[in-house]
Structure formats: C-alpha cells, structure tokens
Structure 1
C-alpha cells in the first residue's frame, strides 16, 4: 500500500478505510490483458495502487503501472469507476478496505513488462476467456472488460 495509507494504518489499525485507488487494464494487440501476480495476497490483478495525497488519478495509474511493470502507458481511456460492496477487501494481515477504484484502459504502452520484485511475482498477458483466479473486486472489473471486448 501507499505511504499515506501506511501512516493512516499506524493510527487506526485494521478498521475499514475508504481508499482511493487507480488501475489500468493494459491490452496488447490481441486484446489480451496484462495481469500481475501480487506478493501481498498471492492473487492475480491488474496493475494499480493507492492514490497519494495531492496526486491526480491519471498520475497514479502511470506511476503504479511503471513501478509494477516497467511499462509507460499512454492514451489512457477511462473505463469505469467501481465502489461499494463489490470493492470490499480484507488483506491477509487483516487490514480492511472499501476501494473507490478508478480504472483506465490503455492499448498503447512503451517498454517490456518486467516483474517488480517488491510487489510482484509474475506478469503475464491473458486471453479474456482464460483469466486466472483473482480477488472478487478484480473479478468484477475483468467481467466488465470481457463484456466490453468479447460481446
């Protein structure tokens, strides 16, 4: 989690927090989506993370994607904003969050996907019909992507 969230957690413990996050559905030329296998919860998800104090969500997406994948995303297109019960998550350490999740799509990026050893154990492009198991909050987002791309 971001430094701001870590500081808040020191004060409030594991109680539920509303956390603004931003992520990106990165699609390659075959409309496969880039997923990362996260070290914190051992689940697959799209790249993204917490918005820092004073940071624009578009800047969060670019920063988080670069930190987690070494890719520089371009031509960000707003996909959707997710909130409420579908974005409830409890981390393995007991920290509870309700994400306000701003999701973008990018089909244009520079670089080669490279695993960030601090947060990620694997990066892969997946066909939308054969996605790995992921947390329910990510599943909602990827289900919507499948409806948009496949139907």
Structure 2
C-alpha cells in the first residue's frame, strides 16, 4: 500500500493537498508525449503522478514516466509549479484533492513506448499544435507554459 492509499484510509475522501509531478517529453520532431488516461476515463493528458514520501519531484517524474509509458527519461528541466483552485480534482471514487503540480520537460529519453494498461490506456507523440480536444485543462496550461519557457530555445 502506498502513501496515498494509507492517507486515504485515515482521512477518507475529504479534500487534501497533494504534490504531483508531470513531464513534457519532447521527441526529435518537437512532438509531445500524451497518455489516454483511465481516470478520468478517456481523457488525454501528460504522464505523471503523485510523489511518494521522501521522494524528490524529479525522481517521481522519472518513476511515473517509466511506470506509465515504459520510457526512461533524463535531464529534466523545470517548466513551472502550478497550484490553486484550478488544480482541484475529484475522482470517480469520491476522493478530492488540490494538486500542487511540479512540471518539467525533457528531450532526453530512451526505451520503447508502451502503455501500462492501468493508468495509461494508450500513449503517443502529438503535434503540439494539434493535441486532442479532450486533453485535461490543467495539462493544457502546462503545455502552454512549456511553450512560453522554451520559445527562445
């Protein structure tokens, strides 16, 4: 049982703050990696997830990307930190939380892309100007900020 499950066993579904990380993984043609998520079902978003106790946000990003997509990532660079009421999440099981989302980007990855079939139903690289309409709003904000941060690079 992980940290989140243990905490939920104590507090139930009440709102809580969680720290999570996400990574904009960029391929050699400038496309970004997106995942079709199991929660909310069928929505597209950036891969990532909550950090475990004592884990750095960078290590959590590397772990989550590997678990969800099979890719090994390196050389993470900070995009920004996102927080506030725009990052409220209510899961289908009733759990509620506000995400403090630490977003990174990288162009350094290896391995073979493979959806885990649990959190990630499908994954692939998308033209940054043609992402799916049902991409999570909070992840669209991350993508837009990534574009701002890297526009002169």
TM-score (norm. length: structure 1): 0.92
Task: Kindly report the root-mean-square deviation, in angstroms, between the aligned alpha carbons of the 2 structures.
Answer: 1.6
1:16 aligns with 2:18: no
Is residue 79–residue 149 contact of structure 2 (8 Å, CA) maintained in 1? Answer: no
Q: The residue matched to 2:114 in structure 1 has which SS?
A: coil
Q: Which moved more, 1:89-98 or 1:54-63?
A: 89-98
2:20 and 2:51 in contact (8 A); partners too: yes
Structure 1 residue 87: Cα displacement: 1.3
Paired with 1:90 and 1:64, the residues of 2 have a C-alpha distance of: 20
Residue 139 of structure 1 pairs with residue 140 of structure 2: yes
Partner of 1:79: 79
| Matched residue count | 150
- The separation in 2 between residues aligned to 1:46 and 1:105, in whole angstroms, is 11
Q: How does 1:63-142 map to 2 (within 5 A)?
A: 63-132=63-132, 133-142=134-143
Q: Does 1:41 align with 2:40?
A: yes
Unaligned runs of at least 5 residues, structure 1: none
Task: Give 1:141 shift.
Answer: 1.1
Name the TM-score, length of structure 2 as normaliser.
Answer: 0.91
Distance 1:55 1:12, change over 3 A: same
